[in-house]
Amino acid sequence: MDEPRRKRGRPRALDRDVGLGVAARLFWEHGYEGTSIADLTQAMGVTPPSLYAAFGSKEELYRQALDYNSEHETKRRAEALQGPMSAFDALEFYLYDVAEGFSNPGQPRGCMVSNAVLQHAEENEAVAREVAARREASIQCMKARFDRAVVEGELSTETDTDSLARFYSAVVQGMSAQACDGACTEILKRLVDVALRAWPGDHTDRKAR
């Protein structure tokens, strides 16, 4: 008599938070177009149907991975801009934290968002727009802090806060590119030193670093 066939085991359940952490790191390191479904499923140890059941699509997974990255990597910077510190001190914290984060040897270099999906295939236009919108939102967050600095008298009423926010955001994007090219933390912090000297307000009473 033939032995009864063994029942197939259930597919491995996907822990969403763990899966998002894995996906965020892969997308951060290889980019959206450079990360395939095969890469994602292999890294997560699940099948494509399980991945699609959990996240719907690669595009939606990328959006959720961006949210995951924002919560774990950039939340403290946004909180600094929105908190009680002076605008200059908040900006200083923000930029030095960026310099350390972009060159952290324990994670992919640069920023998952700053230089993401700048050049892309036509079919990925929606993803490119999504990332561009997040970059713009970051600029507007910085501008809002500078607008507050004008109201509170830290910056002149003549200050072009939009251009100032775009300038410092360009510094952040530049640091991301240089970090990807191998720039170390010390180099990035020297770049921050120069950028902070462009601050148009008075910050002579701040403590020296």
- The span from the CA of 192 to the CA of 209, in Å, is 12
CA distances from 170 to 148, 165, 167 (A): 21, 9, 5
Could you tell me the two tokens for 92? Answer: 């200083």
User: Residue 205's closest CA among 69, 82, 59, 89?
Assistant: 89
Instruction: For residues 84 and 114, give the distance between their C-alpha atoms in angstroms, rounded to a whole number.
Output: 26
- pLDDT tens, 28-79? 999 999 999 999 999 999 999 999 999 999 999 999 999 999 998 889 999 9
Read off the amino acid at residue 205: D
pTM for the structure as a whole: 0.86
CA 67 – CA 186 distance, rounded (Å)? 29
CA distance 176 to 101: 10
Domains belonging to the chain, first-starting first, are 16-196 (1.10.357.10)
Tens-place pLDDT, residues 88-144: 999 999 999 999 999 999 999 999 898 888 778 788 898 989 999 999 999 999 999
- pLDDT, residue 136, reads 95
pLDDT attached to residue 9: 47
To the nearest 10°, report the CA torsion of 143, 149, 154, 158. Answer: 60
Please compute, for residue 108, the number of CA atoms within 13 A of its CA located in the half-sphere on the CB side. Answer: 19
pLDDT value, residue 8: 52
